[in-house]
Amino acid sequence: MASNDGKVLSEELIQDLNAHGPYSMAVWHSGDIRVGNEEGLSGREAYFTNLIRRTILKHFTVDQIKTFSILDIGCNDGWVLNELSDLPFARMVGIEPREKNIVKGQTVRNILQISNRVEYKLGDIESLGDESFDVVICAGVLYHVESIPVALRRIANICKAMVFIESRCISSKYITKALMNEIEMRDLVYQYKEKTCGITAQKFESAYHDGSTKSLSVVNIPTVESLVMQLDILGFQDVEIVADPKSYRRAVWKNRRALNGVCISAYPKLGQNSSVSDESIWIREYERGLEKTVLKRDFIEPLYEHYCHRKTTLALFSHSLITFMYLKSPSWLAGIFGSFLEVLHREKYELEIIKNLRYGPRDKLCLEYGKMLNSVGEHEFAMTVLKSVTTRINADWRSVYRSFHLLSAITSHVGLLDESCRYQTLCVSCNPRFPVEP
């Protein structure tokens, strides 16, 4: 066995290599010498390097790369950036929390006479400083950290042009309809985002192996969905799964291991840093949409009479029967009536109002009735109905702040400006996120 420069490995050098091992993340090559065994992940090195190289070259020109810095977090013996060091990055940095792994890389490169221009330093995700990098690679690390969201937030803070995340992951088969039902995905966000959820599995992990967590922890193994959702909420754009668990398995594991793997690339959002800034836009749009939607009198009045004055009229059965059945049915039947409602009420906000009537029907019906009365100019009556919500102890929270807002608008309309201001203050006190400004 001889290296590139014809050097033959002595027993002493081999002992030295073994004393710094294991070289289990990738194989170091020189001449016909191979150092490394990729423990059950054979083929990962070539597959992964090609994937990153292809993705970088697809998104950036060589001239751009010449101005770029690249950071590899949790670089172990530093093989990833060594493989990529032919790309003309202006600066290449690998950080790793285990000194032993940094020395491991230096040892193999010294013995095999491999040189590169990568700076290898001690460091971990949790203590990433202010220095930013154009391209950030975080491979095989996230499922060894205590908190994936914290780790990704740190990465988002320092990444300027592209992030490349590779992680072991658990199968999406555990994300079932029953699970999604159980976690009650009814938030306002789902008016604007796809109804998706992720899960993570927790396990104990010791720091015994060179490739594991940096200190004894409970670590989290995510689903692909969890990673994509985290990147999304941090404002990353064009989140692309460059290798999904199936292709990863085909190329690397070939069913030798139960665990899955995934590679994701994404661009950090320029300017405002996350979809948290979209939240106020969604809240405004949602509240205005609900406020502007007025249900027809012959539909809402019989329901209002029934729930608020215990009067059941024939009109209830002719105009609002399905809604009435939906409101009265046990939860196992509500889904069926809910699907009828979806056919009968195609307008998004109308359907949202009607479906939500199940939760606090009395106050919600008063609010809708008050809205309808206001829209036809019956301001006095509207105020009486809305006040029957705001003056009732333990009234439904959403109906209360929306009624305060409507009362503020009506009182302003009829010239009671002090009253209007008071109602606006009450509205914001009840829900500080309510968009009171028009």
Helix (H) or strand (E) holding 171: none
> Residues, the chain, total?
438
Residue nearer to ligand SAM on the CB measure, 38 or 352: 38
- The interface region with ligand SAM, picked from 71-79, 229-237, 332-340, 410-418 by CB under 6 A, is 71-79
Q: How far is the CB of 201 from ligand SAM (least distance, A)?
A: 17
Burial of 13 (0-12, 13-18, 19+ CB in 10 A): middle
Q: Which residue has the tokens 């998004």?
A: 348
With binding defined as CB under 6 A, does residue 368 bind ligand SAM? no
Residue among 30, 24, 59 at smallest CA distance from 42: 24
Residue 210: both structure tokens together: 């060179």
CA separation for the pair 326, 261 (Å, rounded): 44
Among 30, 47, 55, 124, binds ligand SAM (CB under 6 A): 124
Q: What is the C-alpha end-to-end distance of the chain, expressed in Å? A: 78
Residue nearer to ligand SAM on the CB measure, 213 or 374: 213
With binding defined as CB under 6 A, does residue 82 bind ligand SAM? no
Residue 115: both structure tokens together: 């040189």
> What are the CA-CA distances from residue 163 to residues 65, 141, 249 (Å)?
14, 14, 22
Cα–Cα–Cα angle for 353, 354, 356, rounded to 5 degrees: 65
- Compute CA 306 distance to the chain's CA centroid, rounded to the nearest angstrom: 43
CA separation for the pair 287, 292 (Å, rounded): 9
Site string for ligand SAM, 201-240 (x = CB under 6 A): ----------x-xx--------------------------
With binding defined as CB under 6 A, does residue 83 bind ligand SAM? no
Residue nearer to ligand SAM on the CB measure, 107 or 411: 107
Among 17, 51, 65, 75, binds ligand SAM (CB under 6 A): 75
CA separation for the pair 34, 17 (Å, rounded): 12
Residue nearer to ligand SAM on the CB measure, 98 or 306: 98
- DSSP at 240: E
With binding defined as CB under 6 A, does residue 51 bind ligand SAM? no
CA separation for the pair 39, 74 (Å, rounded): 18
Among 20, 104, 144, 306, binds ligand SAM (CB under 6 A): 144
Residue nearer to ligand SAM on the CB measure, 123 or 370: 123
Q: How far is the CB of 330 from ligand SAM (least distance, A)?
A: 49
Which backbone phi and psi does 380 adopt, to 5 degrees? -60, -50
With binding defined as CB under 6 A, does residue 71 bind ligand SAM? no
Among 17, 87, 111, 125, binds ligand SAM (CB under 6 A): 125
Residue nearer to ligand SAM on the CB measure, 145 or 354: 145
> What are the CA-CA distances from residue 334 to residues 39, 182, 325, 345, 357 (Å)?
53, 16, 8, 16, 12
Q: Where are the alpha helices (DSSP H) in 234-360?
A: 245-248, 276-292, 297-309, 314-319, 321-328, 331-344, 348-356
Residue nearer to ligand SAM on the CB measure, 83 or 396: 83
- Helix, strand, coil % in the chain, rounded to nearest 5: 50, 15, 35
Q: How far is the CB of 223 from ligand SAM (least distance, A)?
A: 19
With binding defined as CB under 6 A, does residue 73 bind ligand SAM? yes
Size of the site for ligand SAM (CB under 6 A): 21
- The interface region with ligand SAM, picked from 82-90, 119-127, 280-288, 419-427 by CB under 6 A, is 119-127
Residue nearer to ligand SAM on the CB measure, 22 or 289: 22
Q: How far is the CB of 97 from ligand SAM (least distance, A)?
A: 5
Q: How far is the CB of 148 from ligand SAM (least distance, A)?
A: 11
With binding defined as CB under 6 A, does residue 167 bind ligand SAM? no
Among 35, 141, 228, 341, binds ligand SAM (CB under 6 A): 141
Residue among 262, 269, 196, 263 at smallest CA distance from 237: 269
With binding defined as CB under 6 A, does residue 140 bind ligand SAM? yes
Among 10, 122, 126, 313, binds ligand SAM (CB under 6 A): 126
Helix (H) or strand (E) holding 145: none
Q: How far is the CB of 123 from ligand SAM (least distance, A)?
A: 7
Strands 33-35, 28-30: pairing is: antiparallel
Among 3, 30, 55, 76, binds ligand SAM (CB under 6 A): 76
> Which parts of this chain interact with ligand SAM (CB under 6 A)?
25, 73-76, 80, 96-98, 101, 124-126, 139-141, 144-145, 211, 213-214
